[in-house]
Amino acid sequence: MTENDKPEPAGEEFVADGEFGGDGLEAPLEAPAEDSIVAAKISELEELAAERTADLQRLQAEYANYKKRVDRDRALSRQGGIEAVVLDLLPVLDSIEAAREHAELVGGFKLVADELEKVSAKYGLEAYGEVGEAFDPQLHEALMHMPYADPVEVVTIAAVMQKGVKLNDRVLRPARVGVADPDA
């Protein structure tokens, strides 16, 4: 018998490379399955990265809002502390003003009074209410009606009993004044 005449083993089919099965067809059949698995993994990882990025952005926004709120609360607390000290010092400042009006501020006490007024001005304390100004009920407290030397066109301050005090444009104490009404 020659090699060509050899019988094939029973139950086994002869498969040449590149024909049904073998290495030639298995790789193309597995490649689309592997590509879809890889694509699914990439999609899953991109989704996870997008989710984590959104979480990070949300967390950064929350932190920025928290920081702004804390800074605002800190500034309000500081302003409240300054306001409390200034309210406690108002009688002292009133006494200094009264002494100044009666020419009793002399010597070392005058220097102390001047320094105290500088410090209070540094923190935004401002006295207001002068004779001749227009009356504003949000800034002034009218205690009485008075005659005024000149005719007036609007309700005008004729006398100041106690100056008003503002701290950074916030009225701490209204000016107590006597007013003159416009002539009829």
Tokens of 114: 């001047």
The predicted-structure confidence for 19-63, as pLDDT tens digits, reads as follows 444 554 444 545 677 888 999 999 999 999 999 999 999 999 999
pLDDT surpasses 90 at 164: yes
Q: Give the whole-number percent of the chain exceeding pLDDT 90.
A: 54
d(CA 108, CA 70): 43
Residue 147 has pLDDT above 90, yes or no: no
Rounded to the nearest 5°, which phi and psi values hold at 165?
Answer: -135, 130
CATH topology of domain 125-184: Nucleotide Exchange Factor Grpe; Chain A, domain 2 (2.30.22)
Q: Is-above-0.75 flag for pTM?
A: no
In the chain, where the domains are located: 16-123, 125-184
Cα dist. 62→72, 75, 116 in Å?
A: 15, 20, 43
3-state secondary structure of 172: strand
